[in-house]
């Protein structure tokens, strides 16, 4: 089986100097070098062809994100620097917290915003409305890179369906699973996996899709976007009580039509290879296989690695091959979408191990 990678150099346009965490500025960790190491490993280990994305425009992005949020993403950096904001990027310091919800909110009449004065909150107010942490740094070039990452995911979805490949890797950067319909956070701006999933279901009419999110962190954005729907099924394995802190409990099971179609598996800090593979196999057999998905979208983060500077699980490089094999055992065509992973020296080998484990384990 051949595994195709989609990749765009435009990710390099997103290269913030710093992020804000624990009350300090420190070097930005979600660096272009991450993806450069991955593409290098793909080439040296002959994973398969590497192709450039097509441009599908904004319409597929707007099926997931609101128009006012996309407009914010496009204009935020210019508006911020115009008023004398930090040229290294947009860092909100006023926050549109839930208590500001206004009963007579003008925008809520349009069924959109919960706040009276947003999205017109002005150049200082808007960032605190559309951003929930200090690591989703919008710098010069961030919009172009995020736009292209969504196009990489969309191209991956098209290839998976039309080229009859059983595996496609969308090498997206910036990542996406923390982005909500109108919120950036956790290094994420557009939810690439969600955009590809909507495209698979609505445009390519593939039937049922399961999202399997194996990034170290809970994919709060993907969960929120699909929380009221039974297609896709969303399944996440992640470290318990870690970032993004407010979501990821097993009690979050979906609502309305989506009841029962959101599955969270929080894992204790320090989880190692054996327990991880056991938990993955268990949820795959009990929840994903019975759903009989036609396609699977894997939110692939390797921040579960033992030496990851951000994460706190202890998976080894060899174990990523097993993870790929376990996913392959579903015999379901898979779109892998790159999410997190910050141990730069090992990131290429870890990612390619998952993909090779899948490629070589797949039988249709
Ligand atoms: C896509 C993705 O993986 N986003 C993750 C964003 C997590 N950002 C907050 C991380 C806080 C980590 N604290 C580091 C403690 C050092 N061990
Ligand atoms: Zn992560």
Residue 179 has pLDDT above 80, yes or no: yes
Return the pLDDT at 117. Answer: 52
Q: What is the pLDDT at residue 120? A: 52
CA–CA dist 21, 15 (Å, integer) = 17
pLDDT tens per residue, range 195-237: 999 999 999 999 999 999 999 999 999 999 999 999 999 999 9
From start to end of the chain, where are the E strands? 3-6, 18-21, 24-27, 50-51, 167-170, 209-213, 233-239, 262-267, 295-300, 334-338
Decide: helix, strand or coil at residue 299: strand
Does 68 contact ligand 1 (Cβ within 6 A)?
Answer: no
- Among 20, 131, 137, 186, the mutation site with the greatest number of ligand 1 atoms within 8 A of its Cβ is 186
In short, whether 340's Cβ falls inside 6 Å of ligand 1 is yes
Per-residue pLDDT for 349 more than 60? yes
State percent of the chain over pLDDT 70: 94
Atom of ligand 1 nearest to the CA of 340: 3
**pLDDT greater than 90 at residue 274:** yes
Residue pLDDT, tens place only, 135-174: 999 999 999 999 999 999 999 999 999 987 899 999 999 9
Please report the atom of ligand 1 found closest to the CA of residue 303. 3
Q: Which residues are catalytic?
A: 178
Instruction: Give the position, in ligand 1's atom list, of the atom nearest the Cα of 186.
Output: 6
Q: Are 250 and 241 in contact (CB under 8 A)?
A: no
Q: What are 213's two structure tokens? A: 């999110």
What are the start-end ranges of the E strands in 74-162? none
Count of beta carbons in the 10 Å neighbourhood of residue 47 = 22
**Mean pLDDT of the residues in the chain:** 94
Q: For ligand 1, atom 14, name the residue with the nearest CA.
A: 310
How large is the average pLDDT for residues 244-266?
A: 98
Question: For residues 299-328, b (16+ Cβ closer than 10 Å) or e, as one string?
Answer: bbbbbbbbebebbbbbbbeebbbbbbbbbb
Residue 238 has pLDDT above 80, yes or no: yes
Instruction: Give buried/exposed letters for 237-261 (b at 16+ CB in 10 A, else e).
Output: bbbbebbbeebbeeebebeeebeeb
Q: Is the CB of 186 under 6 A from ligand 1?
A: yes
Q: How far apart are CA 34 and CA 37, in angstroms?
A: 5
**Long-range pairs for 282-287 at CB < 8 Å and ≥24 separation?**
283/235, 283/237, 284/212, 284/326, 284/327, 284/329, 284/330, 287/233, 287/235, 287/263
Confidence label for 102 from pLDDT (cuts 50, 70 and 90): low
Residue 235: HSE in the Cβ half-sphere, 13 Å Cα cutoff: 23
Regarding the beta carbon of 215 and ligand 1, being less than 6 Å apart is answered: yes
Q: What is the pLDDT of residue 96?
A: 85
Q: Would you state the structure tokens that stand for residue 246, as one six-digit string? A: 């407010």
Confidence (pLDDT) at 122:
79
Q: Are 342 and 144 in contact (CB under 8 A)?
A: no
Average confidence (pLDDT) over 273-287: 98
Closest C-alpha residue for ligand 1 atom 6: 186
Q: Tell me the β-bridge partners of 278.
A: none
Query: Does residue 108 carry a pLDDT above 50?
Result: no
Euclidean distance between CA atoms 185 and 118, whole angstroms: 19
* 8 Å CB contact between 124 and 151: no
pLDDT over 70 (residue 103): no
Residue 185: pLDDT band with limits 50, 70, 90? very high
Round to whole Å and give the CA distance between 200 and 206: 6
Residue 109's pLDDT is 47
Whether the pTM exceeds 0.85: the reply is yes
Q: What is the pLDDT of residue 1?
A: 79
Whole-number Å distance, alpha carbon 69 to ligand 2 midpoint, is 22
Report the relative pairing of strands 24-27 and 18-21 from DSSP bridges.
antiparallel
3-state secondary structure (DSSP) of residue 235: strand
Please state, in angstroms and rounded to a whole number, the distance separating the CA atoms of residues 191 and 64.
Answer: 8
**What DSSP state is assigned to residue 200?**
I
- Which two structure tokens, joined as six digits, stand for 217? 């962190």
CA angle 272/329/307 to nearest 5° reads 25
Which are the contacts of 301, defined by CB distance < 8 A and separation ≥ 6?
175, 177, 213, 214, 215, 216, 217, 338, 339, 340, 341
For residue 134, is pLDDT > 70? yes
């Amino acid at each position: 089986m051949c595994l195709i990678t989609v990749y765009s150099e435009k990710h390099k346009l997103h290269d913030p100097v710093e992020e804000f965490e624990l009350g300090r500025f420190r070097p930005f960790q979600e660096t272009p070098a991450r993806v450069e190491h991955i593409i290098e490993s793909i080439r040296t280990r002959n994973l398969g062809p590497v192709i450039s994305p097509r441009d599908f425009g904004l319409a597929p992005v707007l099926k997931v994100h609101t128009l006012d949020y996309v407009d914010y993403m496009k204009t935020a950096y210019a508006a911020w620097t115009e008023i004398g904001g930090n040229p290294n990027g947009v860092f909100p310091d006023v926050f549109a917290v839930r208590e500001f919800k206004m009963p007579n909110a003008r925008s809520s009449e349009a069924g959109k915003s919960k706040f009276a004065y947003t999205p017109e909150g002005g150049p200082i107010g808007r960032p605190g409305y559309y951003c929930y942490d200090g690591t989703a740094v919008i710098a010069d070039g961030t919009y172009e890179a995020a736009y292209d990452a969504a196009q990489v995911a969309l191209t991956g979805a098209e290839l998976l369906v039309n080229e009859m490949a059983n595996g496609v890797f969308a090498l997206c950067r910036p990542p996406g699973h923390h982005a909500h319909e109108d919120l950036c956070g956790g290094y994420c701006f557009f939810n690439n996996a969600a955009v590809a999933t909507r495209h698979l279901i609505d445009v390519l009419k593939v039937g049922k899709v399961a999202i399997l999110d194996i990034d170290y962190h809970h994919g709060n954005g993907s969960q929120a976007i699909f929380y009221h729907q039974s297609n896709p099924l969303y399944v996440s394995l992640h470290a318990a009580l870690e970032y993004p802190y407010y979501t990821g409990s097993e009690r979050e099971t979906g609502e309305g039509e989506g009841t029962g179609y959101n599955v969270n598996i929080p894992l204790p800090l320090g989880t190692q290879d054996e327990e991880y593979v056991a938990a993955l196999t268990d949820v795959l057999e009990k929840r994903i296989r019975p759903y009989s998905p036609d396609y699977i979208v894997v939110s692939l983060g390797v921040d579960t690695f033992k030496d990851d500077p951000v994460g706190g699980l202890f998976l080894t490089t060899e174990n990523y091959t097993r993870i790929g094999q376990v996913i392959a055992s579903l015999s379901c065509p898979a779109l892998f979408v790159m999410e997190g992973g910050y141990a730069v020296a090992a990131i290429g080998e870890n990612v390619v191990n998952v993909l090779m484990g899948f490629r070589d384990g797949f039988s249709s």
